[in-house]
Structure 1
């Protein structure tokens, strides 16, 4: 198979290795990206690595049930704070796809760092890297985002960029 980079140069596609997907957002936000990644892994008969980058300094988004009263924050602290919620979100998004593609071995991978760096490192020996991009228009035209831009220009393997609303 002939694959070319963003610069038009040929890219070597390894015959072994996994499919890596950049996991971001909840169940609905990541559905299309995960569909493409699971289909690719199933077709290639290789494992899928679902990668989520976590920044060292993180502003937590609490579930709506907690609100922001001192009493509800105390309850959140009793259950380990927002961290368990943050760790459970990727698993919730992967679950329907694990059921639909039981033949695909899935490795969930969370790592601290910028999304671009974490994805590039995880995909260093991959057959394919799948990332999403929000469709955003600006005065200068469509914007692909920093993560998609980084992996398109620096990935050692082919990259699939999946648009999402």
Structure 2
């Protein structure tokens, strides 16, 4: 099977950071790298581009420079470049349909405000069933947020009440490629009615947590057998799930969250937990679609 990672480029430092992060990921996976520029990606490109030909030359130069930057770090990596046309989110989702993942850049807004995931990124996530990884730039030079953090664990958020096989498979493969542990988080909050029964809360909390821990261990048991070399740290924690995932992911190399595939007339949906994590995590975030 041929492995490939697709990166969406728009000429900004964030997309350069995404490409450089994807270069290392491709090397870990033994995959090729496909750099893609969607012709209608930018409404206001960073340079004054007035004609179709000028836009094409500009896009070609973006692809060339980014390919060169990645190749400096990974000289043996197979890298291809191409332009695609159409609505940017759908064009990128289509470009990545046979890839291991689609990698996109996001813009940092500071430690309090979090990160900005634009409409193209959000819509591309909803438009594809391939994993989508969001990467922010560590600086204005397009450097990815790696360094010491890149040696951290992989953190995955799960829901024990629903199957998470696709998410767990992706997270464990990532941990195996990186030779790092996997932290699996199931955050939960006590039922609101418990706040009216303070005397009963400690015992009820313990009972609920024991049940969730047992379910989490059962969910992970077959995966421990499939990936015996990966250390799995399972945590059933009290608190809002998104906050628990973000807290565990402070020094993570990668955060993995899920998006449940919903084949209904209403259309695709990104849940509130995944939405919060992808906007506020300081690490790269992988959004994995699963049943």
- Regarding TM over 0.5, the answer is yes
Question: Per the alignment, do residues 141 and 128 of structure 1 end up closer, same or farther by CA in structure 2, a change over 3 Å counting?
Answer: same
Is 1:133 matched with 2:268? no
Question: Per the alignment, do residues 36 and 81 of structure 1 end up closer, same or farther by CA in structure 2, a change over 3 Å counting?
Answer: same
Contiguous gaps of at least 5 residues in structure 1? 60-79
| Residues 63-112 of structure 1, C-alpha deviations (whole Å, 9 max, x = no match) | xxxxxxxxxxxxxxxxx956533221100111111111111011111211
Is 1:19 matched with 2:154? yes
Question: Per the alignment, do residues 43 and 112 of structure 1 end up closer, same or farther by CA in structure 2, a change over 3 Å counting?
Answer: same
| 2:281 paired residue number | 155
Is 1:112 matched with 2:247? no
Question: Per the alignment, do residues 25 and 81 of structure 1 end up closer, same or farther by CA in structure 2, a change over 3 Å counting?
Answer: closer
2:163 match: secondary structure: helix
1: CA distance between counterparts of 2:224 and 2:284?
A: 24
Is 1:32 matched with 2:32? no
1:50-89 alignment runs, 5 A limit: 50-57=184-191, 83-89=209-215
2: CA distance between counterparts of 1:113 and 1:82?
A: 13
Shift of 1:32: 1.0
**Paired residues, number:** 145
Question: Per the alignment, do residues 81 and 55 of structure 1 end up closer, same or farther by CA in structure 2, a change over 3 Å counting?
Answer: closer
- 2:145·2:283 contact (CA, 8 Å) conserved in 1? yes
Deviates more, 1:121-130 or 1:85-94: 85-94
Question: Per the alignment, do residues 57 and 45 of structure 1 end up closer, same or farther by CA in structure 2, a change over 3 Å counting?
Answer: same
Give the structure, 1 or 2, with the largest relative contact order (CA under 8 Å, sep 6 or more): 1
RMSD value, Cα: 2.5
1:46 match: secondary structure: coil
Shift of 1:133: 1.5
1: CA distance between counterparts of 2:209 and 2:240?
A: 18
Q: Could you state the TM-score of these two structures normalised by the residue count of structure 2?
A: 0.45
| 1:75 paired residue number | none
Contiguous gaps of at least 5 residues in structure 2? 1-19, 23-104, 107-116, 119-134, 138-143, 194-205
Larger Rg: 2
Q: Could you state the TM-score of these two structures normalised by the residue count of structure 1?
A: 0.77
Question: Per the alignment, do residues 114 and 131 of structure 1 end up closer, same or farther by CA in structure 2, a change over 3 Å counting?
Answer: same
The partner residue of 2:221 within 63, 73, 95 is 95
